[in-house]
């Protein structure tokens, strides 16, 4: 099975080497003859630099790529927007989608699949910081922001960066079975199926976005005290500010109101408890600061479009 990864200059290198290492390790764990061969495809065969400055040589261009591609993945890059509208490339991708067994994207590579029309009417995901942009640019795509990866027919998309390894491991499990995939996961020190979605990182990442150290300290305190009263006046008091000034600076530094940040953090914590434990909903609501089950349920339905009980059943 030939694994081809399409990369552009400025590629996020982990989007490339992460999945390749997973497939390579699967070859080693499965033993005997290799199950996968590899091809790095780009716009040139000259050395190109990744986003971190490291340089490497692609094997071929998309014009000269092998015709026996089994799985084609598109790696993401911070400059993905400059590579989306090459119509010849998009036509090639459309042909590959008809020819290859499966096609997918890692991180912002989803924007290239979208530009080729290959995600229209499909469920898809991308890096958590780009899901809103993907939704706005391509309204025919059913963007699901919380997923680590999504399979829709023969089309696959993954969340940001390291999620490409989760996707590759899922493909290995499809091809070679759970035992080989488990051996790969053990060797690479990763989850066979990572608990939770990518929103588990969102509250903590938002906390790191604050420029004001006082606001950042309050956010850290919120994340460790979700069961406490987190009203704005209480948070403002911890910051040594008036409620009005605190709310203004919080919004300026985090692009979120204090109340939105608190609810998002509580929701993340509740979602992880539902995924990882049989804790009754009443205790989940209390532990995460929602107080009552009905409040927890309303937050889930408003933000995720699903009840806590149904969320637990699915995930």
Assign 3-class secondary structure to the chain.
CEEEEECCCCCCHHHHHHHHHHHHHHHHHHCCCCCCEEEEEECCCCCEECCCCCEECCCEECCCCCCCEEEEEECCCCCHHHHCCCHHHHHHHHHHHHHCCEEEECHHHHHHHHHCCCCCCCEECCCCCCHHHHHHHCCCCEECCCCCEEEECCEEEECCCCHHHHHHHHHHHHHHCHHHHHHHHHHHCCCCCCCCCHHHHHHHHHHHHCCCHHHHHHHHHHHHCCCCCCCHHHHHHHHCCCHHHHHHHHHHHHCCCHHHHHHHHHHHHHHHHHHHCCCCHHHHHHHCCCCCHHHHHHHHHHHHCCCHHHHHHHC
Percent over 90 (pLDDT), the chain: 73
Q: Which pLDDT belongs to residue 297?
A: 95
Q: Which pLDDT belongs to residue 168?
A: 97
Last residue of a domain, one of 135, 166, 194: 194
Does 22 share its domain with 116? yes
Does 186 share its domain with 293? no
The tokens of 194 are what?
């990572």
Does 293 share its domain with 176? no
Given a cut of 80, whether residue 229 has pLDDT beyond it is yes
pLDDT, mean over the chain: 91
Does 226 share its domain with 166? no
Does 8 share its domain with 113? yes
What would the mean pLDDT of 31-39 be, rounded to a whole number?
A: 90
Does 108 share its domain with 159? yes
Q: Count how many Cα atoms sit within 13 Å of the Cα of residue 289 in the half-sphere of its side chain.
A: 20
pLDDT band at 51 (very low <50, low <70, confident <90, very high): very high
Percent over 70 (pLDDT), the chain: 94
Q: Which pLDDT belongs to residue 314?
A: 78
Does 221 share its domain with 87? no
Does 142 share its domain with 20? yes
Does 44 share its domain with 177? yes
Helix pair 213-224, 232-239: axis angle to 10 deg: 130
- pLDDT single digits (tens) 278-287: 999 999 999 9
Give the span between the Cα atoms of 159 and 178, in whole angstroms.
Answer: 22
Using alpha carbons, select from 64, 67, 75, 2 the residue that is nearest to residue 38: 2
Using alpha carbons, select from 263, 271, 254, 260 the residue that is nearest to residue 217: 254
What pTM does this model have? 0.69
Does 173 share its domain with 203? no
Here the CATH number for the domain that contains residue 12 is 3.40.50.880
Given a cut of 90, whether residue 201 has pLDDT beyond it is no
The tokens of 146 are what?
């919380």
Last residue of a domain, one of 194, 210, 228: 194
pLDDT band at 4 (very low <50, low <70, confident <90, very high): very high
Does 24 share its domain with 91? yes
Q: Range of 225's domain?
A: 199-314
What would the mean pLDDT of 228-237 be, rounded to a whole number?
A: 96
Q: Which pLDDT belongs to residue 80?
A: 86
- pLDDT single digits (tens) 117-151: 999 999 999 998 899 899 999 999 999 988 899 99
Here the CATH number for the domain that contains residue 300 is 1.10.10.60
Last residue of a domain, one of 194, 211, 231: 194
- Structural domain count, the chain: 2
pLDDT band at 303 (very low <50, low <70, confident <90, very high): confident
Q: Are 158 and 16 in contact (CB under 8 A)?
A: no
Does 102 share its domain with 124? yes
Give the span between the Cα atoms of 194 and 164, in whole angstroms.
Answer: 12
Q: Which pLDDT belongs to residue 146?
A: 80
Any idea which of 182-196, 224-238, 291-305 has the lowest mean pLDDT?
A: 182-196
């Amino acid at each position: 099975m030939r694994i081809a990864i399409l990369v552009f200059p400025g590629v996020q290198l982990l989007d490339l080497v992460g999945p390749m290492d997973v497939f390579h390790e699967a070859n080693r764990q499965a033993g005997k003859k290799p199950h996968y061969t590899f091809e790095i495809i780009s716009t040139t065969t000259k050395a190109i630099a990744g986003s971190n400055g490291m340089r490497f040589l692609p094997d071929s261009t998309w014009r000269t790529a092998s015709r026996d591609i089994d799985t084609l993945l598109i790696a993401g890059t911070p400059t993905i927007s400059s590579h989306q509208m090459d119509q010849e490339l998009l036509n090639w991708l459309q042909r590959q989608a008809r020819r290859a067994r499966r096609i997918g994207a890692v991180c912002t590579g989803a924007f290239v699949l979208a530009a080729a029309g290959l995600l229209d009417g499909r469920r898809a995901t991308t890096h958590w910081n780009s899901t809103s942009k993907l939704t706005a640019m391509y309204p025919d795509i059913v963007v699901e922001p919380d997923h680590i990866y999504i399979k829709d027919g023969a089309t696959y998309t993954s969340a940001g960066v390291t999620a490409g390894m989760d996707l590759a491991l899922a493909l290995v499990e499809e091809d070679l079975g759970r035992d080989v995939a488990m051996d790969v996961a053990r060797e690479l020190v990763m989850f066979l199926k990572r608990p939770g979605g990518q929103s588990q990182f969102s509250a903590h990442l938002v906390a790191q976005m604050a420029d004001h150290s006082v606001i950042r300290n309050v956010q850290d305190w919120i994340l460790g005290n979700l069961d406490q009263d987190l009203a704005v006046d209480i948070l403002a008091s911890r910051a040594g500010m008036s409620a009005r000034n605190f709310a203004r600076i919080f919004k300026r530094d985090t692009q979120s109101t204090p109340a939105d940040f608190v609810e998002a953090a509580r929701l993340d914590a509740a979602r992880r408890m539902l995924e990882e434990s049989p804790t009754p909903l009443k205790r989940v609501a209390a532990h995460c600061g929602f107080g009552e089950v009905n409040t927890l349920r309303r937050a889930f339905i408003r933000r995720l479009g699903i009840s806590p009980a149904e969320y637990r059943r699915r995930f």
